[in-house]
Amino acid sequence: MWNYIDNITNIYGKNIVFISGLFFLHIVTYWIISLIFISIDIIKPSFLYKYKIQNNINNYITFNNILKCSYQVLINQLISIFIIIIYSNILSYRNFNTSFDTLPNIYTCILNFIVFLIFEEIGFYYMHRFSHYKYIYKYIHKQHHEYVTPIALSAIYCHPLEHIFVNIAPLFIGPLIMNSHLILIWSWIFIATVNTLYSHCGYHFPLTLSNEVHDYHHLYFNECYGILGILDNIHKTNTNYYKSKQYKRDKIYKINEYYPII
């Protein structure tokens, strides 16, 4: 497989491989997972629906609403193409590595992902918190917060400017600084896509990392702006969260554990 990708790169160039691979990876992951969660919300199988975080008093699973949400998501994903093209050219200027004959070792991978996480936490926290400034919120970020009870599909349901500066930019800072290998950037975007979908899915399943924090943010709007919680702790923007029932459930549950929905 790796030799095949290397051959494609030699024929069409590293930019084409990077852009098409990254976009395809994001699109397929985003829509498959979103459709799975939409199916769960519609069918409501008891063995899965009991892990719903909120009591779904705001029912967004209607045909018109899904159509509206999908339309905005597709617009933002098309915008992503142009951002990826620009990003790819910047990486090419730095001569980033696309060869699968020289894959990074485990230590390089760990270092890269630590840097990715640090800069995403910094970038996302401050851009996200800035988007809650009342004049910015009213015209831009409010769209994303139409979903008080979030669903996976709504992960990038937002104003295009928010998608560029809050969703995309923080993700790309780390790989740019590290001049990362193609496979690390692809892996990072895949992980980020899965994480944001699960953060918005509205379910807290056993054996998975908790997504109570971001669900709480959608419910109350004014706390928990970060991803890792580090900057929320530093800036004390999660004090009420620590007093909430969501915080009491903020853990990895065993397979046989059950908790009541909010």
Is residue 158 situated within a structural domain? Answer: yes
In angstroms, the CA 144 to CA 135 distance is: 15
Is residue 56 situated within a structural domain? Answer: yes
Is residue 246 situated within a structural domain? Answer: no
Task: State the pLDDT at residue 125.
Answer: 98
In angstroms, the CA 143 to CA 147 distance is: 8
Is residue 248 situated within a structural domain? Answer: no
Is residue 243 situated within a structural domain? Answer: no
Q: Check pLDDT > 60 for residue 58.
A: no
Percent of the chain with pLDDT over 70: 88
- Which amino acid is present at 177? I
Q: For residue 52, list its beta bridge partners.
A: 203
Contacts with 18 (C-beta within 8 Å, 6 or more apart), sequence order: 84, 88, 91, 98, 182, 185
Tens digits of residue pLDDT in 2-45: 455 555 555 445 677 778 888 999 999 999 999 999 999 999 99
Is residue 95 situated within a structural domain? Answer: yes
- Count up the domains in the chain and report the number: 1
Is residue 220 situated within a structural domain? Answer: no
Nearest residue to 165 (alpha-carbon basis) of 123, 215, 224, 216: 123
Host domain of residue 62 = 2-207
Q: Check pLDDT > 80 for residue 107.
A: yes
The CA–CA distances, whole Å, from 216 to 19, 75, 171, 208 equal 34, 27, 23, 17
pTM tops 0.85, yes or no: yes
Give the number of other CB atoms < 10 A from CB of residue 223: 19
Task: State the pLDDT at residue 12.
Answer: 44
Max CA-CA distance within the chain?
Answer: 58
Is residue 237 situated within a structural domain? Answer: no
